[in-house]
Structure 1
Amino acid sequence: MGSATTLKIWREQSLLHKLIYDWIFVPIGVAIIIGIVIAVNQLFKAIGFNFPANVAGMLLVAIVFIILEYTIPKYAMDKILMCINPAIDFLMKWMIIFFLPPLITIVNSDLPSGSDIVKLLIVFFAGLIIFIPLVGYFIHYITILFQKMKKGKSNRSESPVVEMKEKNKKGPLNMIEIAIEDEEKTMDITSVDTHTGSTTSEHTIENTITGTHKNDIETINTPKSKETFGKDLAPPKREKPKFNWKSSAIPSKYSFITYLIIYIVSWIPAALWNVTQPLHIATNALSYFVGLCVPDKIRVIFHPLVSCTLLSYLLLWIEALIFGRGFKEEIGLYSNNSKYLLYINDTSLPFPKAGEILFCILDATVVALAFRILEHHKLIFKHIIELVGSIVIMSFLSMLVHTILCRLINTTPVYTLSMTSRSATTPLAVQVVDYLGSDMAIAILIVVFTGVFTDIIGLPLLKLVRFPLKDTLAHGACMGCAGHAVATAGLIKDFPSSSAVSSISFVLFSTLCVVWCAIPPVASLFRSIAGI
């Protein structure tokens, strides 16, 4: 049993253990990770290097821990991971809520005209429907091509004698090999059920030919009426499954009660000293908990981030009424755009509000994805060439195609450029906005909704086009490239290996978007296509 598992078992032993785990171990771990982000940011500032500290921190932590994996004893590695695991579990579990601030603050931003909104929506969904399967199949077939090239080299080096021995090991009817274009799938049809002693299809065919199953042959030859024959072939009637109103993601009573208490108590500092951060964070947390209670089948469409946003609006509106403030004024108290990394270097700035605190924890979450990379680094390293090569091509094509689509329907140039950064993760999308001069608020909103809708329609769309979900590399890469960290969070529970690939994919994709825009001729190309 691993040290991390032992610690989780210890947490469940009593309420005191839960409180220690959640309010001591988790905050310490999160603080350490944020400390890494701050240290990297200060280093970059000192050397004049402009790159998001959270993404750099993730890559740095991943590299360091992969090196440690092969250089220190296993028990030492387990101890290190045990110390940081409570924070990692917390950040991975609640990742979605940290993307909430841009959706809350959009009401205070200048929105495009109605016609531009319609045009952006057309390009938004058309691009998403095209891009997700395109990236998936592109990487899927590139991987197959690389594997065939590797097999070709290995086959040429093998002796013909070895090949003959391998062929002799196979029986004449042991396997049926079905070649489907670029993939080879093998299906075994001769297994024997050892528990029941029944023979398989091969033996049944053989015995029928030799006449050992006389009763079966006589039965087949006996004429049957058409009605009886039709009844035998008719499929059994099945009752339609009733709609399941249950949710598999309902938070624990302990979590709900804890944040409800925080919410109630937080009214005191909000009323007396206008300290609204605890109240607004508790508002978001409770809204998210309610969003998780939505039935599974509805939640596939009604994403928790969307329901959380709507419920947060409702609670913030009620709070504004109680305090005698306007709704937009309350939103202004939720976020003041005073980033914590800026505040550290200039304390004359306003103290960060709830939105900035959640964004601060989002930085820690991005770094925490390094541990998903660590967990599945062998798979990633095995296919690093085809993965990186594909993402280099897809990152440029994504930005180019979305810019062209917007121009074709005469979208306002500044909003056209906002669409280019749609699949980049938020911190890096900000860099793309700075390079291209697009609208920051709209760009961030597009980025967040791209992640949300990739998470909603990604899996059904891939199933619709019959994409092989067993291809972990291509599945993770297409979700990461299309929907960045939000889509990655959606993979963690059901597709952990794909989530690791998705983590590195969205970082590579987002980084390359910044690199492309940092090249003056490329940035000028995008601007000229947009009409600037």
Structure 2
Amino acid sequence: MFARTLKGIRAALWPLALHFWYKYVLVAVGSVLVLLLLYGINEVIKKTTINFPASVCLMLLMFGGLSLSSWLFGEDKTNIVLRYIDIPFGFALRWMNIYFTPPFVTLVLSDKVSVAEAFTIAAVFVVGYLIGFGIIAYFTWGLQILLGTYKTDMAQDEETQSQESDQDSNQIDKIKEQIEDKEGLNNEDDPHRVPHGVQTEEIEWEDKVKSFLLQWVDFMVYGILFWVGVVVYYTTGYEMPVQLSTAVLLFRVCMLQPLRWRRFLHPILISFSVSLLVFYILSVIKGQNFFSCIRHYKTGRTYLHLFDANQYTAWPGAGDFFISLMDISIVSLSLAMYNYRKDLKRYFVSIAPPIVLCSFMSFFIYPPVCYHLGISASRSLGFTGRSVTMALGMPLVIALDGSTQLMAVTTIISGILGVLCGDFMLFKMFRVRKHDFVTRGVTFGVNCGAVSTAYLIDIDPRAGAMSSLAFTLFGTLMIVFSAIDPLVRVVQRLVGW
């Protein structure tokens, strides 16, 4: 047995070396290069009077550049470029969800909410959710009828679908991979995953050892980082290494649960809750105030302010590290938009008007309604990002000086509710026909974001494609609105600022 184990370890050495080279060298170098580019773009933007996130700017530039390259040189040559830029961007998409945890961790530092305001927030969320579903569904449905693109019966739709299935099959596979990556739902790192086309046949002992090492080596690395972080924390008081390794380890553990469970026990919700417990235990043992420990989790010293030691005196925390990487994931959405560019062109007239309508409602109706119902100004502005996927909702709400904590919570809940009861609302309450994939996709995309889009991809790939396009364009348009200072001032005045 021992000899066979050694043989398996020797067989795993080269794959392990490649694993470390890719994840800990190429991805790291690629991510640093993207951050340097974003830093340069941000410095240029600061020289202007425009308030626009560098991450969204680079996302749009990359989408335009890839589309232009495909038009000029063809997809084959463009795919060569994609293979290289996918190194940092693919990783960022795959683990995007963990970058959303900082607002949840720092939720304990938020101002206290009265019971009355808490119930008001819940009521506005529920009523707004239902109204948003209904308005977008009926508007998209009616728009298709008006334009003559609506399929009146299932047979007609099935005929069209069969004609398009061959040319769309490859794109659907790309869509599924991209959306699963965004939500961290890709089973690539699942130790129980069996590759497609491989029987469950008996595996050689050496292969079992190699597979085990490759699947758990990242846990070993972050486990070592955790104990090193514990020593650093108790000797110097710097929390970042131990907090970062704790967050990553717990999120990876949550990703081990079966896919169907993750829709209900979302890794963000579970991992951040347990992380807070670990941070509390560590702070008690050290004798540190727990709230001080959490304040150091996100100091604001991200890559954009790393060299601004005069304004940001504290060292970066784990939350600052995640927020910096989240900007890379925002840029990586350009790959998804590039993959869906044909659908975007084909269904643009059915997608664009509902997105513009939802953007107007979110930007100009949600905040004043919330404010006049007794919700604070900051939280009222935070509601603008209620249905914007978190990667784009963060810079949106920050630009408005709104509550990112409220935005984060409502966004995740919107996505989970879309999975649990979105179809019931759409098909039973609002009587949308199940074969209407455009209405289904657009409604889910602008109301539920990327979480529900991953769900749609499994059961209705065409609706999933529409949903992905919808939430990406919706979030981008909201970011554009937030970059226009006169519009920002109008919205802020609507909530008494």
Q: Same fold (TM over 0.5)?
A: yes
The normalised TM-score by structure 1 is: 0.70
Matches within 5 A, 1:123-272: 123-148=124-149, 179-180=152-153, 184-185=156-157, 250=190, 252-272=215-235
Report the Cα distance in structure 2 between the residues aligned to 1:267 and 1:142, rounded to whole angstroms.
Answer: 58
**Shift in alpha-carbon separation, 1:68–1:86, aligned structure 2, 3 A:** same
1:84 Cα deviation from its structure 2 partner: 1.9
**Shift in alpha-carbon separation, 1:43–1:412, aligned structure 2, 3 A:** closer
Question: What amino acid does structure 2 have at the position aligned with 1:46?
Answer: K
**Shift in alpha-carbon separation, 1:450–1:109, aligned structure 2, 3 A:** closer
**Shift in alpha-carbon separation, 1:521–1:46, aligned structure 2, 3 A:** closer
Q: Which of 387, 391, 398 is matched with 1:430 structurally?
A: 398
> Residue in 2 aligned with 1:51?
52
Q: Which of 483, 486, 493 is matched with 1:518 structurally?
A: 486
> Residue in 1 aligned with 2:475?
507
Q: Which of 270, 277, 280 is matched with 1:307 structurally?
A: 270
Report the Cα distance in structure 2 between the residues aligned to 1:338 and 1:390, rounded to whole angstroms.
Answer: 38
**Shift in alpha-carbon separation, 1:512–1:41, aligned structure 2, 3 A:** closer
Q: Which of 247, 253, 267 is matched with 1:284 structurally?
A: 247
> Residue in 1 aligned with 2:101?
100
Larger Rg: 1
The normalised TM-score by structure 2 is: 0.75
SS at the partner of 2:296? helix
**Shift in alpha-carbon separation, 1:62–1:105, aligned structure 2, 3 A:** same
> Residue in 1 aligned with 2:443?
478
Report the Cα distance in structure 1 between the residues aligned to 2:412 and 2:484, rounded to whole angstroms.
Answer: 25
Question: What amino acid does structure 2 have at the position aligned with 1:33?
Answer: V
SS at the partner of 1:255? helix
1:472 Cα deviation from its structure 2 partner: 5.6
Question: What amino acid does structure 2 have at the position aligned with 1:447?
Answer: M
Q: Which of 275, 279, 282 is matched with 1:319 structurally?
A: 282
Is the deviation greater in 381-390 or in 325-334? 381-390
**Shift in alpha-carbon separation, 1:33–1:138, aligned structure 2, 3 A:** farther
Matches within 5 A, 1:366-377: 366-377=330-341
> Residue in 1 aligned with 2:417?
457
**Shift in alpha-carbon separation, 1:347–1:401, aligned structure 2, 3 A:** closer
Report the Cα distance in structure 1 between the residues aligned to 2:131 and 2:220, rounded to whole angstroms.
Answer: 44
Matches within 5 A, 1:338-357: 338-344=301-307, 349-350=312-313, 351-357=315-321
Report the Cα distance in structure 1 between the residues aligned to 2:368 and 2:457, rounded to whole angstroms.
Answer: 34
1:359 Cα deviation from its structure 2 partner: 0.2
Report the Cα distance in structure 2 between the residues aligned to 1:144 and 1:335, rounded to whole angstroms.
Answer: 49
1:73 Cα deviation from its structure 2 partner: 5.2
| 1:377-430 deviation per Cα after TM superposition (whole angstroms, max 9, x unaligned) | 111122334433322222112344434653564444554344344334110111
1:264 Cα deviation from its structure 2 partner: 2.1
> Residue in 2 aligned with 1:444?
404
Instruction: Determine if contact 1:422/1:429 at 8 Å carries over to the other structure.
Output: no
1:490 Cα deviation from its structure 2 partner: 6.6
Report the Cα distance in structure 2 between the residues aligned to 1:134 and 1:313, rounded to whole angstroms.
Answer: 39
Question: What amino acid does structure 2 have at the position aligned with 1:335?
Answer: K
Instruction: Determine if contact 2:481/2:487 at 8 Å carries over to the other structure.
Output: no
Is the deviation greater in 127-136 or in 91-100? 127-136
Question: What amino acid does structure 1 have at the position aligned with 2:125?
Answer: F
1:460 Cα deviation from its structure 2 partner: 3.6
Report the Cα distance in structure 2 between the residues aligned to 1:52 and 1:255, rounded to whole angstroms.
Answer: 32
Instruction: Determine if contact 2:367/2:383 at 8 Å carries over to the other structure.
Output: yes
Is the deviation greater in 28-37 or in 70-79? 70-79
Is the deviation greater in 463-472 or in 62-71? 463-472
| 1:459-514 deviation per Cα after TM superposition (whole angstroms, max 9, x unaligned) | 34331122567656544443443345665677677756346414532333423552
Instruction: Determine if contact 2:399/2:483 at 8 Å carries over to the other structure.
Output: no
SS at the partner of 1:352? coil
| 1:8-64 deviation per Cα after TM superposition (whole angstroms, max 9, x unaligned) | xxx997111111111112112222322332122111112232111111111111111
Instruction: Determine if contact 1:27/1:87 at 8 Å carries over to the other structure.
Output: yes
Report the Cα distance in structure 1 between the residues aligned to 2:66 and 2:341, rounded to whole angstroms.
Answer: 10
Does structure 1 residue 273 correspond to structure 2 residue 236? yes
Instruction: Determine if contact 2:412/2:451 at 8 Å carries over to the other structure.
Output: yes
1:113 Cα deviation from its structure 2 partner: 1.4
How many residue pairs match? The answer is 424
Q: Which of 465, 468, 476 is matched with 1:497 structurally?
A: 465
> Residue in 1 aligned with 2:20?
19
> Residue in 2 aligned with 1:390?
354
1:356 Cα deviation from its structure 2 partner: 0.8
Question: What amino acid does structure 2 have at the position aligned with 1:402?
Answer: Y
Instruction: Determine if contact 2:50/2:484 at 8 Å carries over to the other structure.
Output: no
1:291 Cα deviation from its structure 2 partner: 2.2
**Shift in alpha-carbon separation, 1:13–1:498, aligned structure 2, 3 A:** farther
> Residue in 1 aligned with 2:165?
none
Report the Cα distance in structure 2 between the residues aligned to 1:279 and 1:136, rounded to whole angstroms.
Answer: 46
Question: What amino acid does structure 2 have at the position aligned with 1:511?
Answer: I
Does structure 1 residue 329 correspond to structure 2 residue 267? no
Report the Cα distance in structure 2 between the residues aligned to 1:479 and 1:141, rounded to whole angstroms.
Answer: 17
Is the deviation greater in 263-272 or in 46-55? 263-272
Instruction: Determine if contact 2:445/2:468 at 8 Å carries over to the other structure.
Output: no
User: Identity of paired residues, percent?
Assistant: 22
**Shift in alpha-carbon separation, 1:493–1:31, aligned structure 2, 3 A:** farther
Report the Cα distance in structure 2 between the residues aligned to 1:118 and 1:17, rounded to whole angstroms.
Answer: 53
Report the Cα distance in structure 1 between the residues aligned to 2:13 and 2:465, rounded to whole angstroms.
Answer: 27
Report the Cα distance in structure 1 between the residues aligned to 2:133 and 2:87, rounded to whole angstroms.
Answer: 33
Q: Which 5+ residue runs of structure 1 have no aligned equivalent?
A: 1-10, 150-177, 189-246, 434-439
SS at the partner of 1:34? helix
Q: Going by fraction, where is helix more abundant, 1 or 2?
A: 2
Instruction: Determine if contact 2:263/2:419 at 8 Å carries over to the other structure.
Output: no
Is the deviation greater in 464-473 or in 263-272? 464-473
Report the Cα distance in structure 2 between the residues aligned to 1:497 and 1:338, rounded to whole angstroms.
Answer: 36
**Shift in alpha-carbon separation, 1:110–1:70, aligned structure 2, 3 A:** same
> Residue in 2 aligned with 1:293?
256
SS at the partner of 1:369? helix
> Residue in 2 aligned with 1:111?
112
Question: What amino acid does structure 1 have at the position aligned with 2:132?
Answer: F
Structure with greater contact order relative to length (CA < 8 Å, sep ≥ 6): 2
